[in-house]
Amino acid sequence: MADGASRDRVLIVDDEPANRDLLRRVLADYDTRTAVDGTDAFAVLERGDLPNLILLDLTMPKVSGFQVCERLKRSERWRDIPVIFVTGNVDADNESEGLALGAVDYITKPFSPSVVQARVKTHLALKAANTILEQQVAARTVQLADALSRAKSGSVETVVRLSRAAEYRDEDTGEHLLRIGYYSAAVGRALGLADEVVESLLRAAPMHDIGKIGIPDSVLLKRGPLDPAEWAIVKQHPLIGAKILAGSESDVIRLGEVVALTHHERWDGSGYPAGLAGLEIPLAGRIVAVVDVFDAVASKRPYKESFPLDRSFEIVRGKSGNAFDASVVDAFFCVEADVREIHGTFQDRHASPLVEMAGVGRAPSGVLPASADLLPSEPAMESAHLTECRPT
């Protein structure tokens, strides 16, 4: 690790001198600072030498670690500093309370040097990645400013171009975006949504993954399993997408913002980014959650083969009532014939632009070039023969 100011700074807060000394020795590669209690910790922070990470003892006199963490997370200056609790006694209630307050991890006493070093390294790397990610998002958001200004007029062309922007930063194809729009419209109609809402859903659903614009290629195109830090980066794409689409006067773009933010939330509360559950999740997010998973398992990608359609339908059915809203799943099966027709009509004919440019995937030989228009005209919509029905 480089010397001097480039070294990551770690603040160790513990009332026991032996613990502070031990942690300083274990973290000798870092620029470590120490504080003897919560009051001393805030004095260090007020001096302006902000740490990249804080190791915080949970049990201290006067001010507990929980209280220190709560104050940190209320402050605009300090809320983004990762906090790892250090304690000799972790039970489920303590751990849940700490994570709810914003801590990122726990380290238990007596210390294992290798565990301390690994946890600190992981969370410092994640913080650095998030900083880079924020810079990339800011730059790419500026690049999209012109498109967003036109999107406020509700222009279908603008919606198409926004969705195509996502395609260029995704392993999915343009046909995937088409299918997601049509599946969502079919399910919305089966649920009895008004025609104008169904039309908006058709246009908005393909923007569900626009937040992947902010995810690094090294993560999006990784062929093997993601490590925890990489997975944490991927899980930020709903927040990025919502930020990109925020503030529009267009009903379609506003619905796209909702879809982007909530399509990975799950009925049982196990999703992300907010862990919403049940009716806390907007209906558009619940609809796209179902059709996105169906299309993911039914489609081939550079890192996976497709599942047969019957198996893909069973996977969705098996998630009804836990991951997915049962009423949305019922509506999905109400239009199963339409879903099969849409899947057959809009087959993947090429790898996504991102995959092709990166050279990790290859389109089948003899395929036609991609359609010039991402979303077909109204006659094409009518040709899907979306069934009028109501889930039982």
Residues 77-86, mean pLDDT to the nearest whole number: 91
C-beta separation of 239 from 261 below 8 A: yes
pLDDT digits (tens, 9 = 90+) for 136-194: 777 766 766 665 555 444 445 566 666 666 555 554 445 788 889 999 999 999 999 99
pLDDT of residue 129: 82
- 12 vs 248, which has greater pLDDT? 12
C-beta separation of 175 from 349 below 8 A: yes
pLDDT digits (tens, 9 = 90+) for 24-37: 999 999 999 999 99
pLDDT of residue 357: 39
pLDDT digits (tens, 9 = 90+) for 299-348: 876 556 778 999 999 999 999 999 999 999 999 999 999 999 999 888 86
pLDDT digits (tens, 9 = 90+) for 141-154: 676 666 555 544 44
pLDDT digits (tens, 9 = 90+) for 269-302: 999 999 999 999 999 999 999 999 999 889 876 5
In angstroms, the CA 78 to CA 72 distance is 5
DSSP output for 262-329: HTT--TTS--SSS---GGGS-HHHHHHHHHHHHHHHHS-BTTBPPPPHHHHHHHHHHTBTTTB-HHHH
Query: Is residue 354 scored above 80 in pLDDT?
Result: no
C-beta separation of 191 from 302 below 8 A: no
pLDDT of residue 99: 81
277 phi and psi angles, rounded to 5 deg: -135, 150
Round the CA-based radius of gyration of the chain to a whole number and report it.
24
In angstroms, the CA 146 to CA 213 distance is 16
In angstroms, the CA 194 to CA 48 distance is 55
pTM higher than 0.85 for the full model? no
Residues 210-216, mean pLDDT to the nearest whole number: 84
